[in-house]
Chain A
Amino acid sequence: MKLLFDRIDEPGLNTLAVYERRGGYQSLRKALTMSPHDVLQQILDSGVRGRGGAGFQIGRKISFLPHGQMEKYLVCNADESEPGTFKDRELIQKSPHMLIEGVVIAAYAGEISRAFIYIRGEYAHQADILEAAIAQAAQAGYIGERILGSSLSLPLVLHRGAGAYICGEETGLLDSLEGKRGNPRLKPPFPAIEGLYHGPTLINNVETLCTVPQIIRIGGAEYAKIGTETSTGTKVVSISGDVQRPGNYEIELGTPSREIIYGLAGGPFENREIKFWFPGGSSSPVLTKDDLDVPYDFDSMARAGSMLGSGAIIVADERRSVLGVALKLAKFYAHESCGKCVPCREGTNWTVKMLQRIQSGEATPMDLEIMASVQEQIIGNCLCVLGDAMAMPIGSIVTKFRGELEAEIEAARARADAGAPADVVAVGVADELAGPTPVR
């Protein structure tokens, strides 16, 4: 079942002419013949859940917006930076008008008067394509004043970020869009009540908004028949790491994970075996080869102790050291922590230091207890979930690969005792950001 990726490689699909020839903007025309309330009902009926990470129903989000005459905003989150995730990049690059159409229909359903797309600064090529598409759509009257002669008016502005993972967090993104440092805000109030410029704001991921025209086209009830009961529809899954055919694949939610990893992506390299995998980006707790038969949907992943997240599968085979991967992860989150909340700022940095102690032969098995307890202290104690996003995978690695980490501790201690140089698995951000002045 292909909805978003259906013949997406067709040359010129990023232009208005080809998109229209393939039936583009027909969903918008159809939506404009309905009342905003009916459009919202279709989206609610579809049951479609957010594709950005949290999995919250977009229909319910829209229904939280207050009614009445006021400036309301729609912000499309195209700040795709969750490690392992690259689905929005391909959608924007190949079918930018699908996103624009989704934005306009969602704005109509929420009676929203102004829309922004916040794209990460690194996606320069995709931003250029989207900018050209927005200009074409404006020329054709699909955005701007009185769209297609209806009562709907919607200016749409593309905003380019400048490189910060935290701006993918919805309130950090709003501050960044307002021209400030991208620090997350205290919630509540949630953006639906008080968001951009203090106005009610609907924030959704690129892929989520791209599903909206499909829902209007086939009908909400029909869309709900795809996938499982609580995870409806299709999902674009980004697969990377130790697999033969990495890339984006659109699957029906509920497809067994094994079928995605082995069937679509070709499985691990020859004579290799899967050791562990992240089912939903680097922020999701790791799963092992015993979990390969878990259906790929929101609730099955939660029951398996992980999460669907952004729908990015990262596979590591048996050659990979969990310590190296854990350190890579911890350094990433330490670098990207905005520094506002103490548990996250300190927790990420101390986790990096504790993992480095293992490498240098200074750690004891007790350090694993401390590391696990640090992760527990982070979860749920910050304004946003960046800290949790490190604590969940690191916590799961400490639990599931305790034996391997203990062996690493022993081996590194033995090396240190023998006077051999420390075996440094990876270098990176923590050293750079800490500057050149070691205290001792």
Chain B
Amino acid sequence: MSPRIPVARFGHGSRVPGWDEPVDLAKDPAVVPDPATTPVPQALRDEIEAAMAKYPDRRSATIPALHAAQRLHGWCSPKAITQVAAVMALTPADLTSVASFYDMLELSPRPPHDDVYVCTNISCSLLGADELYEAMIAAAAEHPSVHVQSFECLGACDIAPMASVNGEYVGPLREGDAEQIVEDLAAGRPVLPEKQLRFRPSADPGARP
């Protein structure tokens, strides 16, 4: 009989946080918050109302509204959700169900922060993305305002391995770039300007002007 190496086994594969937390059945269900008693910052209200006006059905503005609230609060906190719910006249449960589905919407507490998404999907991982992710975590260890997350394919395999820093795509990243990203963020400088995707010419020779 060979010694068995324990393999982690898990009870579920759900993406939904809080699946194993007990529900308080005695509590009343949350209803659409009363606009009169729910203060909403004017700028946020304006942004959500402008988004709702663009669609035949106001519910379509849910993701833009949650993006706006997250920009303001740092995450989709109960307070942020309540504010969006008051403006959109939807229940907080409706909005939470949507927020919990998408990777870019955060349901755990986070102050306003810098987002570093490291792509660890196939093309990037062939070229060293897993090591880059480790290096990025290590580089950001002393900087709580830098939030490093491994991400699925970000659609920039031509600059693999790469990362998205507050939405700015940079790559191909080499040793030392992780520290540079954190330094640039701390100094408020543009991140790795010479490696930003936006300045990269196409690989196709026919693309040249």
Contact = CB atoms under 8 A, between A and B. Distances in A.
A-B interaction: yes
Interface of A: 2, 5-11, 71, 80-86, 88-90, 93-94, 114, 120-125, 157, 159-165, 176-182, 197, 238, 240-242, 245-250, 264-265, 278, 282, 312, 314, 316, 320, 324-325, 328-329, 332, 334-339, 345-346, 348-349, 353, 356-357, 360-362, 413, 416-417, 419, 421-422, 426-435, 437-440
A434 B9 CA distance: 9
A424 to B, nearest CB: 10
A9 B101 contact: no
Given A160-B64, A361-B5, A433 B104 contact: no
A6 B205 CA distance: 9
16 contacts: A80-B155, A120-B155, A122-B117, A163-B105, A164-B102, A178-B59, A179-B60, A179-B98, A181-B101, A240-B157, A240-B160, A241-B123, A314-B122, A346-B13, A348-B13, A437-B20
Interface string B141-160: 00000000011111111101
Contacts of B13: 334, 337, 339, 345-346, 348-349, 430, 433-434
Contact of B63 (A179, A348, A429): A179
Given A179-B57, A438-B8, A162 B160 contact: no
A384 to B, nearest CB: 15
B27 interface: no
B49 interface: no
A178 B14 contact: no
A325 B168 contact: no
Contacts of B7: 353, 356-357, 360, 362
Nearest to B14: A339
Contacts of A338: 101
B101 A182 contact: yes
9 smallest CB-CB distances across A and B, nearest first, come from A247-B203, A240-B157, A163-B103, A124-B167, A179-B62, A434-B10, A162-B102, A179-B59, A163-B104
A161 B102 contact: yes
B155 A85 contact: yes
Nearest to A349: B13
A164 B103 CA distance: 6
Contacts, number: 245
A272 to B, nearest CB: 12
Given A8-B202, A325-B126, A339-B13, 18 more contacts: A6-B207, A7-B206, A81-B152, A81-B155, A83-B121, A83-B122, A85-B153, A85-B157, A86-B156, A86-B157, A121-B63, A121-B104, A122-B164, A241-B123, A246-B157, A329-B122, A335-B15, A428-B120
Interface string B75-92: 000000000000000000
Select the residue from B126, B130, B198 with max chain A CB neighbours within 10 A.
B126
B202 to A, nearest CB: 5
Nearest to B1: A417
A8 B104 contact: no
B189 interface: no
Interface string B27-60: 0000000000000000000000000001111011
B22 interface: no
Contacts of A6: 206-207
Interface residues of B, number: 67
Given A238-B158, A248-B202, A332-B121, A162 B104 contact: yes
A221 B176 CA distance: 54
Contact of A328 (B121, B167, B207): B121
Given A328-B122, A422-B5, A178 B202 contact: no
Nearest to A183: B101
A86 B5 contact: no
Nearest to B130: A426
A312 B98 CA distance: 30
A327 to B, nearest CB: 10
Given A122-B155, A162-B63, A339-B14, A241 B122 contact: yes
Contacts of A247: 158, 202-204
Contact of A416 (B2, B8, B158, B202): B2
Nearest to A128: B167
A335 B60 contact: no
A165 B206 contact: no
A103 to B, nearest CB: 16
B3 interface: yes
A434 B10 CA distance: 6
Contacts of B203: 245-249, 264-265
B209 interface: yes
Select the residue from A114, A162, A249, A346 with max chain B CB neighbours within 10 A.
A162
A222 B153 CA distance: 37
Contacts of B103: 162-164
Contact of B204 (A182, A248, A278, A431): A248
Given A247-B204, A332-B121, A339-B14, A177 B155 contact: no
Contact of B169 (A125, A159, A241, A413): A125
A362 B4 contact: yes
Nearest to B102: A162
Contacts of B155: 80-81, 85-86, 88-89, 120, 122-123
Contacts of B153: 81-85, 282, 332
Given A181-B101, A426-B130, A416 B157 contact: no
A246 B57 contact: no
A84 B125 CA distance: 11
Contacts of B62: 179-180
